[in-house]
């Protein structure tokens, strides 16, 4: 990343009322990912998702604005560490955040911890500028609200 002010790490911890295997599956199954990923007002068309969940594998998809389908935000990530039902680590490139340029080589770490039949998810992502970190936090929390609904079905 070339922006020297982008030094803020996003950290979100959230408890999901579902076993970690189900939460992990929601991140790694294309059909489920299409049902919840993206903040309210965005969707991820199933046909845009290409997942190969293994070390050296990838995650590619495109978020699309529900109000303006010409506004899209493609994501292209490569997995560097995968432990089934426990951990996803990788680097990602994305573009299309409103008023922002493309970001290259951002890291992502998602941990899935068993909490007695529930899952404590810890997400780390960055680096961000302070402004973009706040937008990303809002977007993830909105997405996680959609994931709560999917997991409760």
Q: Band of the pLDDT at 98, cuts 50, 70, 90?
A: very low
Query: What are the pLDDT digits (tens) for 110-149?
Result: 999 999 999 999 999 999 888 889 999 999 999 999 999 9
**How many other C-beta atoms can be found within 10 angstroms of the C-beta atom of residue 123?**
18
From the list 102, 129, 118, the residue with the least C-alpha distance to 10 is 129
> Mean of the per-residue pLDDT values for the chain?
90
Question: Is the pLDDT at 77 greater than 90, yes or no?
Answer: yes
21: pLDDT confidence band, cut at 50, 70 and 90?
very high
Residue holding tokens 């199933």? Answer: 46
Residue 93 has pLDDT above 80, yes or no: no
Residue 81 and residue 54 in contact, taking contact as beta carbons nearer than 8 Å: no
pLDDT band at 103 (very low <50, low <70, confident <90, very high): low
| Distance (Å, whole) CA 76 – CA 92 | 6
Q: Give residue limits of the domains in the chain.
A: 8-152
- Quote the tokens at residue 44: 């991820």
Which residue has 């609200």 as its token pair?
145
Q: Quick one: pLDDT at residue 102?
A: 52
The confidence band for 104, taking pLDDT boundaries of 50, 70 and 90, is low
- Reduced to 3 states (helix: H, G, I; strand: E, B; else coil), residue 91 is strand
Tell me the whole-structure pTM to 2 decimals.
Answer: 0.89
Whether residue 143 contacts residue 38, with contact meaning beta carbons closer than 8 Å, is answered with yes
Provide the CATH number for the domain formed by 8-152 in this structure: 3.30.530.20
What is the C-alpha separation between 29 and 151, in angstroms, rounded?
Answer: 13
> What angle separates helix 130-152 from helix 20-28, to the nearest 10 degrees?
120
Which of the four pLDDT bands, split at 50, 70 and 90, describes residue 2? very low
Mean pLDDT of 104-113: 89
């Amino acid at each position: 990343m070339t922006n020297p002010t982008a030094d803020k790490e996003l950290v979100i911890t959230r408890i999901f009322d579902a076993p970690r295997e189900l939460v992990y599956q929601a991140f790694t199954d294309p059909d489920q990912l299409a049902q919840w990923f993206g903040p309210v007002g965005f969707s991820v068309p199933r046909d845009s998702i290409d997942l190969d969940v293994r070390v050296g594998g990838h995650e590619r998809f495109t978020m699309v604005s529900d109000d303006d389908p010409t506004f899209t935000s493609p994501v292209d990530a490569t997995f560097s560490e995968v432990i089934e039902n426990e951990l996803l680590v990788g680097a990602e490139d994305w573009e299309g955040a409103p008023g922002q340029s493309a970001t290259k080589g951002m890291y992502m770490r998602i941990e899935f911890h068993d909490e007695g039949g529930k899952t404590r998810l810890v997400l780390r992502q960055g680096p961000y500028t302070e402004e973009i970190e706040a937008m990303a936090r809002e977007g993830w929390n909105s997405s996680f609200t959609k994931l709560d609904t999917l997991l409760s079905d």
